[in-house]
């Protein structure tokens, strides 16, 4: 057999050659329905999808940036127990110190703190309305979650905390909540604040949630500082 192409051979007895131009051959496997218009539509949809994905990514980055800024702003907190706070006077009696040490050690056992304190402040206008305050400093990534956990632990120790609600936290931010629990002297308010650098709780015998929240915020203003 020669190397000549079959199309070069003269026709011998047989049917006439087929004219291929009568039935054009479809060379592409692409569906004929995939018109340039449809391809352009898909391209636009892909562009919109990528744009939305980029926007979502930017929004996520913005949230992370805001959260990181808040952590950096709040993490270096300091707490002091001055002689006088708001309208209260620190009680340095042996009984008060024993009570505050008990509260401080119990609180520190529930959460890992860099520093901790416990103090009793008496109200000169009414000795039955002394405030027991305790807490400390540490880095908290989720302040509200940790504060809620401490309220649950307090519930286990003192009885159920009811009516827990958020109250204004003041200029230091974070979260502040107050509720009501009961003790030997009857019902009393209990409040707590937490930010990315500190967590503090206080008990307010003889005070409503609204009164306790306002006093607690005023105490924080004079007890907390940041580096």
Residue 22 in any domain: the answer is no
Residue 26 in any domain: the answer is no
Residue 47 in any domain: the answer is no
What is the CB neighbour count within 10 angstroms for residue 17? 8
Ramachandran quadrant class, 115 (left: phi over 0; alpha: psi -120 to 50; beta: rest): beta
Q: Give the pLDDT of residue 89.
A: 97
Q: Which of 132, 135, 85 is nearest to 115 (CA)?
A: 135
Confidence of residue 67 (pLDDT cuts 50, 70, 90): low
Residue 3, SS3 per DSSP: coil
Average of pLDDT values for 109-135? Answer: 92
pTM above 0.85? no
Supply the range of the domain harboring residue 101. 77-226
pLDDT > 70 fraction of the chain, expressed in percent and rounded: 66
- Confidence check: pLDDT of 60 > 60: no
Average of pLDDT values for 111-135? Answer: 93
In angstroms, the CA 132 to CA 81 distance is 12
Residue 29, SS3 per DSSP: coil
Residue 13, SS3 per DSSP: coil
Per the structure, the count of domains in the chain is 1
Residue 60 in any domain: the answer is no
What are the pLDDT digits (tens) for 36-59? 555 555 565 556 555 555 555 445
The beta strands (E) that lie in 48-185 are given as 77-79, 84-85, 88-90, 115-123, 126-137, 162-167, 175-183
Q: Give the pLDDT of residue 63.
A: 44
Q: Give the pLDDT of residue 204.
A: 94
User: Given strand 115-123, what is the order of strands in its sheet?
Assistant: 84-85, 88-90, 115-123, 126-137, 198-205, 186-194, 175-183, 162-167
Give CA separation, 17 vs 9, 13, 14, in Å. Answer: 12, 11, 9
Whether 189 contacts 204, CB under 8 Å: yes
Residue 48 in any domain: the answer is no
Residue 143 in any domain: the answer is yes
Q: Which of 188, 187, 199 is nearest to 115 (CA)?
A: 199
Looking at every residue in the chain, the average pLDDT score rounds to 77
Residue 112 in any domain: the answer is yes
Residue 196 in any domain: the answer is yes
Q: Give the pLDDT of residue 45.
A: 58
Q: In angstroms, what is the C-alpha Rg of the chain? A: 37
Confidence of residue 135 (pLDDT cuts 50, 70, 90): very high
What are the pLDDT digits (tens) for 176-224? 999 998 877 678 899 999 999 999 999 999 999 999 999 999 999 999 9
CATH of the domain at 91: 3.40.1000
What pairing do the DSSP bridges indicate for beta strands 198-205 and 84-85?
Answer: unpaired
What are the pLDDT digits (tens) for 85-95? 999 999 999 99
The DSSP annotation for 117-133 comes to EEEEEEETTEEEEEEEE
Q: Give the pLDDT of residue 169.
A: 95
- Confidence check: pLDDT of 11 > 80: no
Both structure tokens of 113: 């703190």
Average of pLDDT values for 93-106? Answer: 90
């Amino acid at each position: 057999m020669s190397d000549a192409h079959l199309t070069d051979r003269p026709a011998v007895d047989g049917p006439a050659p087929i004219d291929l131009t009568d039935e054009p051959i479809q060379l592409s496997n692409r569906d004929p329905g995939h018109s340039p218009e449809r391809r352009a539509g898909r391209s636009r949809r892909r562009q919109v999808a990528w744009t939305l994905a980029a926007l979502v990514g930017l929004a996520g980055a913005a949230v992370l940036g805001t959260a990181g800024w808040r952590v950096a702003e709040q993490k270096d907190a300091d707490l002091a127990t001055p002689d006088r706070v708001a309208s209260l006077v620190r009680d340095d009696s042996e009984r008060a110190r024993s009570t505050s040490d008990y509260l401080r050690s119990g609180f520190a056992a529930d959460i890992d703190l860099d520093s901790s304190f416990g103090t009793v402040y008496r109200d000169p206008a009414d000795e039955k309305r002394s405030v027991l305050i305790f807490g400390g400093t540490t880095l908290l990534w989720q302040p509200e979650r940790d504060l809620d956990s401490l309220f649950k632990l307090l519930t286990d120790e003192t009885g159920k905390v009811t009516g827990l609600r958020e109250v204004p936290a003041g200029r230091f931010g974070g979260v502040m909540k107050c509720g009501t629990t009961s003790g030997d002297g009857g019902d009393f308010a209990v409040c707590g604040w937490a930010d990315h650098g500190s967590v503090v709780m206080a008990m307010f015998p003889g005070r409503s949630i609204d009164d306790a929240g306002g006093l607690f915020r005023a105490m924080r203003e004079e007890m907390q500082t940041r580096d």
